[in-house]
Amino acid sequence: MPINVVIVGAAGRMGKTLIQCLARRVEPDLRLVGAVDLWDAPERGQDAGCAAGVADISVPITTDLAAVAPNADVVIDFSGPHGTAGNAPRCAVWRRAMVIGTTGLTPEERAAVEAAAHEIPIVWAPNMSLGINVLLELVERTARVLRDRGYDIEIVERHHRRKKDAPSGTALALGQAAAAGYGWNLDETAAHGRAGVTGERPTRQIGFHAVRGGDIFGDHTVMFAGEGETIEISHRATSREAFARGALRAARWIVGRAPGLYSMREVLELSGEK
């Protein structure tokens, strides 16, 4: 039986990549039944397939999620923080599973998603590629081995000039993985960039550095700098398709699950969680 999908943020870069993958039947049992974006999206009213650069698929881009959500088994949301925070409670009322790739949410917006997860199953991840989720595992395991051995942690991320939040959600997730391995609280140890006379680097610190420019899809490096050696673990995305494939796999996986907040590490069976 096909799994019906609605994409929110359909006119965006990730939305179009998702539609391209669905048109090519990357996940053969997923079927696009709705495409939603903001009222000012130039593609509003166009066929979603044509807007994404593939064939006409007879699914117009609309602004009304309520009109298409009843036909969905799962809603994939790559919109924006405010939109996602508003969509999650509505999907909870409609009892529609969600896959969320939006980053940059405020604590209040995060709370709205977490509350919705008491009613519906939600996969929420800052990065849905297999490679990044393997990287998260490697970073946490490496940090666990190096804990209390004097290695400083620095995280460098690079993205395209249009990205609105910094550091990236993926960088923060990597920082959380490193902090977990070290037994630290990330909120207490994170340092975002440096300027001026900062003094010596504290021992209990995880540094974040965000680079923005051009059309970089996403590069992330976690550095463990010790005395006499440095370990670097990196991931470089060469196409948004890696993220889209992960999101579609998550959409296939989440349907029928119990209410709750799930990670891509669970979807990809990379850890012993749940």
Which residues have a catalytic role annotated?
Answer: 159, 163
CB 204 within 8 A of CB 167: no
d(Cα 209, Cα 142) in Å, to the nearest integer?
Answer: 20
d(Cα 164, Cα 167) in Å, to the nearest integer?
Answer: 9
Name the residue type at position 199: G
The Cα diameter of the chain in Å comes to 62
Report the side by side order of strands in the sheet with 190-192. Answer: 190-192, 206-212, 152-159, 219-225, 230-236
Instruction: Supply the angle between the helices 241-254 and 130-146 in degrees, to the nearest 10.
Output: 90
Label residue 144 exposed, middle or buried (CB < 10 Å: 0-12, 13-18, 19+).
Answer: middle
Label residue 250 exposed, middle or buried (CB < 10 Å: 0-12, 13-18, 19+).
Answer: buried
Residue with tokens 């490679």: 131
d(Cα 12, Cα 267) in Å, to the nearest integer?
Answer: 24
